[in-house]
Structures are given as C-alpha cells and as structure tokens.
C-alpha cells in the first residue's frame, strides 16, 4: 500500500500532505506509517516511515520535527534538529527552501499554513491545551516575523478527533466556558455530566480570531477511522499499551 498524502485545496501549489497510517512498515499495534519517536515501535521502522513520508510530499527536502509538549510555543526552523535534541515546542515556521516542516498527531489537530507571496510556511500541533493556550496565534505571529501577512495566510486543518468521538467531563467544559462564554457553542450534550467537544471547530475559530480569512477544514475523524489514522483515545479505549503517530507535512515550492 502506498503512502496516502491527503491534500487541501487552499494549499494547491504548495508541497504538503496530511498523512495517516497507510503505506508504512511498522507492525503490531503501531502497524502502518508510524512516525512517532515517542512510541515503543521499532526504531528502524520509524526511521523508514519518516523517510517514506518525506519522499511522498517533498522528495529531497530535509524533515524538521519537534519534541511536542502541548504548548503555545512556535519557533523558526533554519535547519533540521537532531532526533535527540528537538526543541520543546508545538509549531514551526520557515522561509527556507529545502526544509519539510512536520507535525505529529494522534487525535490532536494538525494545521498547515502558507503565505505563498512571502514564501513563508508554518505547521502547528493544536491539541486542546495548545489551542486554548494560543498556539494558533503564536504561529501566525512567528510567520509574520519572517515577512508573512496574516491577510494573505491560508490555513488547512487536517485529520483530528471529531465531536462525535470526543467526550469530555464537566470540568473540561467549565474551563473553556470560563475562558470565553461563547465557547459553549463547541460543546454538545453527552451522557449525564459529560459533553461532546468540537476540537476542529474550536481550532477553526482560533484561526479566524487570529485574522485569517481563508481556512479549510478537512472534517476527517481520526478516532472512527482505524484503518486510516492513528488515535490515542481509540487505543486507550481498547486498552492498548501504545499507539502510533501520523504526520502532517509542508514545504516551500521550489
């Protein structure tokens, strides 16, 4: 099976792809295209999967990834980081050709950004902590420091856990509503004392709040598509001891 690189219409002309688990060499619980260095998967398999992922999107480009920590930190990339010295941050931006920015997810929301006129790109990992903490705004600001203009930036929101699959408790609900009462619109009623949270919708709202006007959400649920995507929550519900991570990639056009 070949690597599946899902494309966004708004990023046409920019090398990019939201990848899932198809086309990899990992076996067992992490079978498929697991690129997660934090998993217990075989290291040679992970390295081969990362090579295949990069080849599928931007052959010859150097892959740049982070040690993601659910923060709002967005940093510029000028060269790849060693695997054992990846900075702790959750978004990358660059204006350097030849670099392939990569964000890993397993239910959290990957967002890819581009200002083609300024030749500046970005990639963000927006789980609920990063999203409410400001990672979207941080990424846009970091892009603007490299010459981008938020009036030109386009953003694509990739596969993430959907509202129907994301049950949260009352404390989670109260945290978001206390931040801004209008956040209540991202929650639907679940079983008693619980809610269903629309993470994708919340991320889209953060993009709009940051001043972006061209936003594409792919509407793909990681949890309910086990043959296509890895999911931390699905693995947890199944009692599995480990889970794979997928990658979302973007590079500057040559």
Residue 99, pLDDT above cutoff 90: yes
- Output the average pLDDT for the chain: 97
Give the model confidence (pLDDT) of 163-221 as tens digits.
Answer: 999 999 999 999 999 999 999 999 999 999 999 999 999 999 999 999 999 999 999 99
Instruction: Give me the residue label for tokens 């695997």.
Output: 83
End-to-end Cα spacing for the chain: 28
Q: What six digits make up the tokens of 142?
A: 């970091």
Residue 1: predicted pLDDT: 84
Confidence tier at 16 by pLDDT (50, 70, 90): very high
Confidence tier at 254 by pLDDT (50, 70, 90): confident
Give the model confidence (pLDDT) of 38-92 as tens digits.
Answer: 999 999 999 999 999 999 999 999 999 999 999 999 999 999 999 999 999 999 9
Q: What six digits make up the tokens of 59?
A: 């052959």
Residue 229: predicted pLDDT: 98
Residue 91: predicted pLDDT: 98
- Assigned CATH for 5-162+198-251: 3.60.140.10
Q: In the chain, where are the structural domains located?
A: 5-162+198-251
Percent of the chain topping pLDDT 90: 98
Structural element, H or E, at residue 142 = helix 135-145
Residue 22's contacts (CB-CB under 8 Å, 6 or more residues apart) are 1, 2, 3, 4, 32, 33, 227, 228
Q: Is 3 in contact with 18 (CB distance < 8 Å)? A: no
Residue 49: predicted pLDDT: 98
């Amino acid at each position: 099976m070949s690597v599946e690189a899902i494309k966004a219409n708004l990023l046409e002309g920019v090398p990019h792809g939201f990848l899932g688990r198809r086309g990899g060499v990992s076996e067992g619980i992490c079978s498929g295209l697991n690129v997660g260095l934090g998993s217990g998967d075989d290291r040679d398999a992970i390295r081969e999967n990362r090579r295949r992922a990069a080849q599928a999107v931007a052959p010859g480009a150097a892959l740049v990834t982070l040690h993601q920590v659910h923060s709002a930190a967005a940093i510029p990339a000028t060269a790849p980081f060693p695997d054992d010295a990846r900075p702790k941050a959750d978004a990358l931006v660059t204006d350097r050709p030849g670099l392939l920015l990569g964000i890993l997810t397993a239910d959290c929301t990957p967002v890819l950004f581009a200002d083609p006129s300024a030749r500046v790109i970005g990639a963000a990992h927006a789980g609920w902590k990063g999203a409410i903490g400001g990672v979207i705004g941080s990424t846009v600001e970091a892009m603007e420091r490299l010459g981008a203009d938020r009036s030109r930036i386009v953003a694509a929101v990739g596969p993430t856990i959907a509202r129907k699959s994301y049950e949260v408790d009352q404390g989670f609900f109260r945290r978001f509503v206390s931040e801004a009462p209008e956040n209540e619109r991202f929650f639907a009623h679940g079983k008693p004392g619980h809610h269903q949270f629309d993470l994708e919708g919340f991320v889209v709202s953060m993009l709009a709040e940051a001043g972006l006007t061209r936003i594409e959400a792919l509407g793909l649920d990681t949890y309910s598509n086990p043959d296509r995507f890895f999911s931390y929550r699905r693995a947890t519900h199944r009692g599995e001891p480990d889970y794979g991570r997928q990658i979302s990639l973007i590079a500057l056009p040559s």
